[in-house]
Amino acid sequence: MPHPDVSAPASDDADWWRQAVIYQVYPRSFADSDGDGIGDIPGVTSRLHHLADLGVDALWLSPFYPSQLADGGYDVADYRDVDPRLGTLDDFDAMIREADRLGLKVMVDIVPNHSSDQHVWFQEALAAAPGSAARERYVFRDGRGPDGELPPTDWPSSFGGPAWTRVPDGQWYLHLYAPQQPDFNWDHPEVREDFHTTLRFWSDRGVAGFRVDVAHGLAKDLSAPLRDLGEHLSYQPGALPLDGSHPLWDRDAVHEIYRGWRQVFNAYDPPRFAVAEAWVRSARRTAYASADGLGQAFNFDFLYAGLDAAEMREVIGSALADAERAGATSTWVLSNHDVVRHVSRYALPAGSTKHDVEDWLLSDGRTPAPDMATGVRKARAAALLMLALPGSAYVYQGEELGLPEVADLARADLQDPMWVRSGGRVKGRDGCRVPLPWTREGSSFGFGPGGSWLPQPAGWGAYAAEEQRGDKESFLELYRAALRLRRALVTDETLEWACSQERTAQGMLHFTRTGGWHTVSNLGDAPVPLPEGEVLLASGPLSGDALPPWTTVWLRSGEPSEN
């Protein structure tokens, strides 16, 4: 591959991501071409027309790299290859070519906080002696206690249990996630250089951007002696210190790493784009999204806001303000591979917390009994709300089909390390990763010619893309219509609220965007009057002049009117 011309002027396309719709593909669960039950890259290629037809701008592929799947692929053994079960680099290139032909951009997931324990550097580190250079690329330390039998610090793993595992020679290594995911030492120049090489490797192959996993974790305070968290230093993202003083998360030094990445990105035309998965206080999100940093950062507040109108308005307002401060655009997410699918979340009683949702999963989706009709209604209303907001919308595979969470997976089928590491207290994320249905009947409902790595429920075929196409009432057609209209309607990056805070307190959100595009959501239990205008799209049936509960409508009119 020729190296890009560093002096090439940025093309007009440089801002493609600012208001893009990006579709998240979880490759193992998207489409399987060879019948081994695991989705693969040729499977993705074979279904790209679905994404083009849906009307998204880009796809982001969760990890497809060689991995022992200790954490669904987020344990990467080789950053510059394709897992043989998922295909080859040639398959990847063919996918990029087909995406390009269909006008779709491709983003890949980069996992810089930790590798797999199968990575050649970690294997080298294990084979080397304590204190050796090979161990310096990771975080090896002696333990505490008379024989070093206690972990070096009290740091917990995000998946449960301690963040340290002992190796046979007595030293311990750090893993903020599963033991098979050793954390890199980002103070090491070789680690920094190797990630630049990886970013160039995929950029040279034509990827348009990167989703950066655990972007807030890289720059740890590893100076001796390591600091315990004790009782004062929370692990919860919402309670991290605002001054960047936590020993592990969201330290200011992380931005120096991304400034280096930005130089790599800007050597391409158009510059490569990146979005940070950073679980940080919203006030500190802007640094990740800045133009000399990654460029954009996920905002999960929208996902966790429930569908309370007042909370939504607050979250939308602050996300837009944060993004503007960073010179970026905001992101909007309702679902991804780490959370319970939103149709099911919204089917639980209003006000259910993350904890309530976890308990519901542990009950195999029985207690409380989900109200699926309400969940569907709310999910449709939320989709039209999200897709009308200025910024980038991230759609998780199957969301366009209205897939619910598969909450009743048998314990024996669970693969997520959270299940085991939490000692059975957290069921984990498998229920949103069940392979997609493409056809009503057939082996694995069209997922592939064989089975599927997680069992699909009976009746999964009713959600199939094939089943929904052409049915005006379907989720798929709602998303298709919305994305088609959005392309025509989106102009600048602003919105104006067109209803009072009092109205919002009663459940109403109404905003306009330049060009006379109105979005009105009724997130309350009683009908509200429908503002005047031509109805372009509605998430559910309208009744005369009223907007029924849990419905969003897009309208076009001349001037916005104050409600």
**In the complex with ligand GLC, which residue's Cβ is closer, 419 or 438?**
419
Cβ proximity to ligand GLC: between 261 and 298 the closer is 298
Q: How far is the CB of 62 from ligand GLC (least distance, A)?
A: 8
Asked if residue 181 lies in contact with residue 116, where contact means CB atoms within 8 angstroms, the answer is yes
Strands ordered across the beta sheet of 172-174:
140-141, 172-174, 164-166
Residue 371 known to be catalytic: no
In angstroms, the CA 298 to CA 333 distance is 8
What is the separation, in whole angstroms, between the first and last Cα of the chain? 58
Does 430 bind ligand GLC (CB under 6 A)? Our answer is: no
Our finding on whether 466 is near ligand GLC (CB under 6 A) is no
Among all chains, which residue has been given the structure tokens 């409600």? 563
Per-residue binder mask for ligand GLC (CB under 6 A), 268-297, x = binder: ---------x--------------------
Nearer to ligand GLC, 39 or 524 (CB): 39
Beta-carbon count within 10 A of 162 CB: 18
Q: How far apart are CA 70 and CA 180, in angstroms?
A: 6
Provide the minimum distance between the beta carbon of 423 and ligand GLC in the complex, in angstroms, as a whole number: 18
Q: How far is the CB of 520 from ligand GLC (least distance, A)?
A: 33
Residue 74 makes contact with ligand GLC by CB under 6 A: yes
Q: In the complex, which residue's CB is closest to ligand GLC?
A: 74
Q: What share of the chain is helix, strand, coil (3-state, %, to 5)?
A: 35, 15, 50
CB atoms inside a 10 Å sphere around CB 256: 12
- The pattern of x and - marking residues 23 through 62 that bind ligand GLC according to CB under 6 A reads ----------------------------------------
Min CB(159)–ligand GLC separation in Å: 8
Question: How far apart (Å, rounded) are the C-alpha atoms in residues 68 and 83?
Answer: 9
Minimum CB separation of residue 199 from ligand GLC in Å reads: 18
> Between the CA of residue 216 and those of 186, 255, 323, 327, what are the distances in Å?
12, 9, 17, 19
Tell me: does residue 71 bind ligand GLC (CB under 6 A). yes
CB of 476 to ligand GLC, least distance (A): 26
Question: Shortest approach of ligand GLC to residue 338 CB, angstroms?
Answer: 5
490 interacts with ligand GLC by CB under 6 A:
no
- Which distant-in-sequence residues (6+ apart) come within 8 Å of 158 by Cβ? 176, 177, 235
- Are 274 and 58 spatial neighbours (Cβ–Cβ below 8 Å)? no
Tell which positions 1-20 bind ligand GLC, by CB under 6 A: none
* Residue labelled with tokens 């919002």: 504
Closest separation in Å from C-beta 426 to ligand GLC: 12
Selected from 324, 338, 358, 364, the binder of ligand GLC by CB under 6 A is 338
Judged by beta carbon, residue 277 or residue 430, the one nearer ligand GLC is 277
Judged by beta carbon, residue 422 or residue 514, the one nearer ligand GLC is: 422
Query: Residue 40 or residue 71: which is nearer to ligand GLC going by CB?
Result: 71
CA distances from 332 to 385, 433, 482 (A): 10, 20, 15
How far apart are alpha carbons 36 and 34 in whole angstroms? 6
Output the six-digit token pair for 436. Answer: 């997609």
Which positions from 88 through 127 interact with ligand GLC, judged by CB under 6 A? 111
How far is the CA of 338 from the CAs of 110, 277, 368, in angstroms? Answer: 16, 12, 21
Residues in contact with ligand GLC, counted by CB under 6 A, come to a total of 9
At its nearest, how many Å lie between ligand GLC and the CB of residue 111? 6
Given the residues 75, 213, 416, 467, the one annotated as active site? 213
Instruction: Tell me the per-residue interface mask from 123 to 162 with ligand GLC, x by CB under 6 A, - otherwise.
Output: ----------------------------------------
Give dist(CA 482, CA 117) in Å, integer. 44
Task: Please write down the HEC assignment for all residues of 480-494.
Answer: HHHHHHHHHHCCCCC
Of 140 and 300, CB closest to ligand GLC? 300
Q: What 3-state DSSP class applies to 38?
A: coil
Contact set for ligand GLC, span 167-226 (CB under 6 A): 177, 213-214
Residue 562 CA to its chain's centroid (Å)? 36
Is 277 a residue of the active site? Answer: yes
CA angle in degrees (0–180, nearest 5) for 167-170-172: 60
Site for ligand GLC in 374-393 (CB under 6 A): none
CB nearer to ligand GLC: pick between 26 and 360: 26
- Name residue 107's beta-bridge partners: 60, 209
Q: Which of 109, 117, 250, 277 is catalytic?
A: 277
Nearer to ligand GLC, 361 or 520 (CB): 361
The residues that are catalytic are 213, 277
User: Which residues sit at the interface with ligand GLC, rule CB under 6 A?
Assistant: 71, 74, 111, 177, 213-214, 277, 337-338
